[in-house]
Amino acid sequence: MRTAALGIARLEEAADVGMTDLLTGLGNDRRFLAKIRRLINDRAADPAPFVVGIIDLDGFKPINDLFGRGCGDEILRQAAMRLRAATDDRCSIVRLGADEFGFLLPLTFSEAAATEQARILIEVLSAPYDLGERSARLSASVGCALYFTAAEAAEDLILKAESALYDAKRTGRGKVVVYSQEIEDKARRVTGIEQALRRAVAAGEVEPWFQPIVSLSTRQVLGYEALARWTDRDLGVVSPAEFIPIAEERGFIGQLSQVLLCKAARAAVDWPEEVSLSFNLSPSQLVDQNTSEQVLTILRDTGLPPSRLQIEITETGMMCEPASAEKIVEDLRAAGIRIALDDFGTGQSSLGRLRQLHFDTIKIDQAFVASMLADAPTQHILRAILDMCRGLQKDVVAEGIECEDQAARLAAFGCQKGQGYLFGRPMRADATAAHVHGYAASARAAFA
């Protein structure tokens, strides 16, 4: 009897270990699924609502990479203790893996109550984490799903909470989203766009359109920025504001970027030699150390000289993994490619990066241009940016110029170059060729 009892105890202990996260001591995904199933069975006769939620730590990966895995594990242990302390014994907290936690609230019956409880969890997770001689701060995003009917399975509730979490992270950090049919419809559209876009990238159906960059004093075309455009046979015209983030989030922005750069470089080869091509790299490409060689291979294959290419990167992109981004920037500049810092003034990087990374061009974000005529503080900021760039010997391009008054004011402030609808909307490659050669012919006639 003692042997049998010991065997049963060992089996129970093994089962418990198999449902426990060894790092935090919380239950794991298997325990989470089992608890949800048990609660559904308990309420089969009277399906009173309850809440399933998933928490994701925003910004955990960069901190983990910066401080090391040991510090990352300590953050996860502290996060687990905080979540336990913030919930009562009737609630369940588990670690689902990586930097995701799950929670089950059996006595939360409404969307408003779920949102309130989730915000409390975000608040406790957002306090500084003690890492010995240093500390770190994180935010968190939460997706929740409410159980209403016995027809719903545990797996369905988890999928709904994941959809809500995905929507929360798309709309910014520190957000709570409770699953709704609208969320499901949005997720279904995202999946549809992803599948269609993958096919379009493989078939080379995404096209670069080109918007002119001009001298504000002479209005001569100095270059064009390549902008992604895509029309699907079933979805119709899909905005880049919609499909670019999807490619970024789903991990194939690199393939999309290579297709676009190859097409853009082929078009630019036939432009006058003094006209440059500007092309954007995404934040994830600044993490991939293959990016530099991919860009240079495309230039070799298309015959576009590196000196005629300007790569644009954002402040936010630079902050994802600074060391990796710096190496890519250095490699590209060493090959003769110019580097522009895009959307200047709206990101998170310090002014010191302008000196460290040796940008050739600063692109002033269109938000400043849009408000400059009616807002005196914005004008002072613009003057300060332009004075700083002159001192650092950087070119400056003001984006989003839509009227002559904006162009004249910027020129008076000393801005050299501009881009915006005033000078031209994005055009197809064939229209761009006609546009640039028309400008070149006009310039030759003016000096004849």
Q: What is the pLDDT of residues 270-318, one digit of tens each?
A: 999 999 999 999 988 998 889 999 999 999 999 999 999 999 998 777 7
The per-residue pLDDT for 322 is 77
- The pLDDT of residue 357 is above 70: no
The per-residue pLDDT for 442 is 59
Tokens of 256: 């999309």
- The pLDDT of residue 150 is above 50: yes
Tokens of 92: 């369940």
- The pLDDT of residue 324 is above 90: no
Nearest to 402, CA basis, from 421, 415, 416, 417: 421
Mean pLDDT of the chain: 89
Tokens of 182: 């609208």
The per-residue pLDDT for 426 is 97
Domain 193-446 top-level CATH class: alpha beta
Mean pLDDT of 129-145: 90
Q: The whole model's pTM is what?
A: 0.76
The per-residue pLDDT for 8 is 40
Vertex 99, ends 98 and 100: CA angle to 5°?
Answer: 95
List beta partners, residue 141: 56
List the helix and strand counts (H, then E) for the chain.
17, 16
Residue 395 and residue 361 in contact, taking contact as beta carbons nearer than 8 Å: yes
In this predicted structure, which of 79-93, 237-251, 352-366 has the lowest mean pLDDT? 352-366
The per-residue pLDDT for 353 is 61
- The pLDDT of residue 208 is above 90: yes
When pLDDT is cut at 50, 70 and 90, the band that residue 343 belongs to is confident
* CATH superfamily to which 15-179 belongs: Reverse transcriptase/Diguanylate cyclase domain (3.30.70.270)
The per-residue pLDDT for 356 is 64
- Give residue-wise pLDDT tens across range 88-109: 989 999 999 999 999 999 999 9
The per-residue pLDDT for 170 is 81
Q: Where are the domains of the chain?
A: 15-179, 193-446
Three-state DSSP state, 340: strand
Residue 114 and residue 53 in contact, taking contact as beta carbons nearer than 8 Å: yes
- The pLDDT of residue 232 is above 70: yes
- The pLDDT of residue 28 is above 70: yes
Q: Percent of the chain at pLDDT above 90? A: 68
The per-residue pLDDT for 445 is 53
- Give residue-wise pLDDT tens across range 414-433: 999 999 999 999 999 999 99
- Give residue-wise pLDDT tens across range 38-47: 999 998 888 8
Mean pLDDT of 219-236: 96
**Which DSSP helix (H) or strand (E) runs through 83?**
helix 69-86
The per-residue pLDDT for 135 is 84
User: What residues contact 127, with CB distance under 8 A and at least 6 apart?
Assistant: 82, 137
List beta partners, residue 97: 100
- Give residue-wise pLDDT tens across range 41-67: 998 888 889 999 999 999 888 787 777
- The pLDDT of residue 14 is above 50: no
- The pLDDT of residue 119 is above 60: yes
Residue 88 and residue 121 in contact, taking contact as beta carbons nearer than 8 Å: no
When pLDDT is cut at 50, 70 and 90, the band that residue 370 belongs to is very high
Residue 29 and residue 94 in contact, taking contact as beta carbons nearer than 8 Å: yes
Mean pLDDT of 186-215: 95
